[in-house]
Amino acid sequence: MTTLPTFGAGIWHFATYKDRYATEGYGPEVGLLEQIDRAGAVADLSVVDLNWPFAGFDGTLDDVKQALARNNLRAIAVTPEIYNRDYVKGSITNPDPAVRAQALKLLNEASVLAKELGCDYVKLWFGQDGWDYPFQVDYGKIWKLAVDGLRELVGAHPEIKFVIEYKPREPRNRIIFPNAARTLLAIQQVDLDNLGILLDFGHSLYGLETPADAAQLCIDAGKLFAIDVNDNFRGWDDDMVVGSVHLVETFEFFHTLRNNGWDGVWQLDQFPFREDSVEAAKTAIRFLKALHRALDRLDEQGLAEAQANHDSLTAQRLVQNVLLSCLAEDTPQTAPTPTEVTA
C-alpha cells in the first residue's frame, strides 16, 4: 500500500453557520480555539486553512499557535476575508480606488501573517469580485484591475505562494474567476511563478467542468498548487461530505492527481450545517482512505488500454471492481440484525 496522503481542512468546517433564513445561526457560535480543538479531535488532520482576520476572536496569535500545537496541527494557509461587507462591490476590482487600496492592505497583512505561521500559501477567493447584472460593469476594465491587482500583491511576496480558488458564482451572480481556463489565463497574464490555482472539486462540479480534466489542465500548466474536496448536487456549492454524491468522478479526480504524481494535501472544504462537524470530517476521511486503497488496486494497465480505445464500458468495470470493494472494507464485520435493518 502506498503512503497515505496528508489530510487537511478549512477551519470553517468546525464552525457553525448562518444563512439568509436561519439568521440566528444553525447552532451556538464556536470560537476559533474551539474550532482548532475540534479539528484536532478528528485525529487524521495534519493541517488547517485559517480565515483572517480571526473573526470574533479577542485572543493573541500565540493563543492560536498554542492551540494548533496542542492538536498537532499546522496552518497550511491563510484565507483573507476579502468577501465581507467592506467588499460588496469587490476587493481588488472594486470601482472605488480607496476600497481597492484597503483590500490590498488586508491582503498584504494576511501574506505577512501566512509567512509568520509558516504557511504554504495565501488563498485568494474573490467571491465578491464580479457582477450580478448585464451592463453592470465594463468587462475589460474589471479584468485589468484583477490582473494588475494580483501582480502587485503576488509580486510583493515572492517567498510565499498564492492560490486563486475559482468558483462560478455566489455571492456574486458571476465571479470573475469562475473556472480553470479563465483563471489560468489570468495567471498567465500576471506571469509570476508563485501564483497558482486551488481547485475546489465542488466548484468545478457545479461549474459543469469535469474536475479530473480541469485538474489535468492546471497540472499541465504547472499551476495546481492545492485542492479542496467536498460534494454537491451540481446546481449549487452545497459543500456536502466528500463522496456523498459523485463517487466515480471523485475517484477519477484523485486518479488524475496520482497519475501525474501530484502529492499535495487532500483538503476538506465542507459545511456540515446540520451534522456534527467532527463526525462529518471523519466520514469524509474514511471515504478518502478507501479511495486511496482503490487507487492502489486499480488495474492501471487495463485502464490505459481501455482509454487508448475510448472503451468506456471496460473502464467502468475496472473502476467499479476496485471502488466498491474498497469502500466495503471499512464497514463493521458484524451484520446488523433484521430489526436493526428495518428500524
In the bound complex, what is the minimum distance in angstroms from residue 71's beta carbon to Fe ion? 21
Q: Contacts with Fe ion: how many residues (CB under 5 A)?
A: 4
Which of 90, 168 has the CB closer to Fe ion?
A: 168
Q: What's the DSSP call for residue 231? A: B
- State the Cα–Cα distance between residues 99 and 296, nearest whole angstrom: 50
In the bound complex, what is the minimum distance in angstroms from residue 96's beta carbon to Fe ion? 26
Backbone angles phi, psi at 120, to 5 degrees: -85, -35
Nearest to 148 by CA among 134, 133, 129, 132: 129
Which of 81, 237 has the CB closer to Fe ion?
A: 237
Which of 73, 199 has the CB closer to Fe ion?
A: 199
In the bound complex, what is the minimum distance in angstroms from residue 127's beta carbon to Fe ion? 9
What the block records as the C-alpha cell of 20 is 439568509
For Fe ion, the binding residues in 253-282 under the rule CB under 5 A are 269
In the 3-class helix/strand/coil scheme, how is 170-187 assigned residue by residue? CCCCEECCCCHHHHHHHH
Candidates 81, 120, 209, 237; binder of Fe ion (CB under 5 A) is 237
- State the Cα–Cα distance between residues 13 and 37, nearest whole angstrom: 12
Candidates 81, 209, 228, 238; binder of Fe ion (CB under 5 A) is 228
Candidates 120, 200, 209, 238; binder of Fe ion (CB under 5 A) is 200
CB atoms within 10 A of CB 139: 10
| Cα atoms found within 13 Å of the Cα of residue 81, Cβ hemisphere only | 10
Site membership for Fe ion, residue 238 (CB under 5 A): no
In the bound complex, what is the minimum distance in angstroms from residue 319's beta carbon to Fe ion? 26
Rule CB under 5 A: which residues touch Fe ion?
200, 228, 237, 269
